[in-house]
Structure 1
């Protein structure tokens, strides 16, 4: 059993009367902070608690999953960089969930925060209209990547609400 508990999310903020880029970055940061906030104050053991069998869904699994999602969309797809996934493997696509280990919760949390910084840096000089060829969707802009990540986090934040409530009754 570890004594580490998830800290509050990093500060975020931004204007709601800003240019499109600032709004997209701000809404993504807000969704990121919501997920981290659902973990605040929980131990590794609590973060690793699974929803209901046979699901392996857990808050820790969600943190690990979105770390790979950030890496995939900003680095692998948009930038075309051959960076490896941190959790997902060809032989275990759900390893982020299936192999979530409470002992590694602090490291996994720190990796996510580092990935947020890395994602921001990867696209800092790119324009929203800059595009890449997605093998499944065709041409795709950075704008679409931001929107995709916002919806990805929003969907998983709904899962996180239910998981957190199951752990200690916290809602909101």
Structure 2
């Protein structure tokens, strides 16, 4: 796994730069929380009864990136990657058969697709989220993604500390 440097968002910038910078900061934070761990550690559940793991969070965020940027904003027919109507938590629940390299590569591909979907669009451009039956502008999508990553990075902090005592980043 290539560990990205975590970009520091500028303290003074235009709205779009600020939103994109904070989203990239949080994406990199999740990658840093996973850095240096082996497959078993990345698969390790946080604490009973939760089955949440770092690998599960990465898989979940791949599906979230896809949902908001590709399905909603770009209006692509891109189905879920890991979960289904029959198994809605499958993205978060990993098994021995699930691998880190695939999860990480899929997540990075969805981030690249998200950037492409947003490229050249106005923050006022709207997409449609069928699962909520509403329109959302790109500004809202960026804000939601920042919130989603921030919340799950808090989970990642606790999971990582439980695995090897590492804190920070």
Please list the CA deviations of residues 86-129 of structure 1 after superposition, one character each: whole Å capped at 9, or x if unmatched.
10111111001223447511111111112111110111021100
How many residues are treated as equivalent by the alignment? 167
When residues 126 and 152 of structure 1 are mapped into structure 2, their CA distance, relative to the original with a 3 A threshold, is same
Q: Does 1:141 align with 2:137?
A: yes
Q: Give 2:163's match in structure 1, choosing from 149, 164, 167.
A: 167
- TM-score after normalising by structure 2: 0.91
For 1:14 and 1:117, locate their aligned partners in 2 and report how far apart those are by CA, in whole Å.
19
CA contact (8 A) 2:34 2:42 kept: yes
For 2:24 and 2:11, locate their aligned partners in 1 and report how far apart those are by CA, in whole Å.
13
SS at match of 2:92: helix
For 2:68 and 2:128, locate their aligned partners in 1 and report how far apart those are by CA, in whole Å.
12
When residues 14 and 55 of structure 1 are mapped into structure 2, their CA distance, relative to the original with a 3 A threshold, is closer
Q: Give 1:54's match in structure 2, choosing from 44, 49, 57.
A: 49
Name the stretch that deviates more: 106-115 or 56-65. Answer: 106-115
CA contact (8 A) 1:71 1:119 kept: yes
Residue in 2 that maps onto 1:3: none
CA contact (8 A) 2:123 2:137 kept: yes
Q: Give 1:132's match in structure 2, choosing from 113, 127, 135.
A: 127
Q: How far has the Cα of 1:52 moved from its partner?
A: 1.6
RMSD of aligned Cα (Å): 1.7
Q: How far has the Cα of 1:148 moved from its partner?
A: 0.1
Residue in 1 that maps onto 2:153: 157
| Unmatched runs of 5 consecutive residues or more in structure 1 | 1-5
SS at match of 2:127: strand
Residue in 1 that maps onto 2:85: 90
For 1:144 and 1:76, locate their aligned partners in 2 and report how far apart those are by CA, in whole Å.
15
Q: Which residues in structure 2 correspond to 1:1-172 (within 5 Å)?
A: 6-9=1-4, 12-101=7-96, 104-135=99-130, 136=132, 138-172=134-168
| Unmatched runs of 5 consecutive residues or more in structure 2 | none
Runs of 4 or more consecutive aligned structure 1 residues displaced over 2 Å after TM superposition: 9-16, 99-103, 132-139
- TM-score after normalising by structure 1: 0.90
Name the stretch that deviates more: 135-144 or 118-127. Answer: 135-144
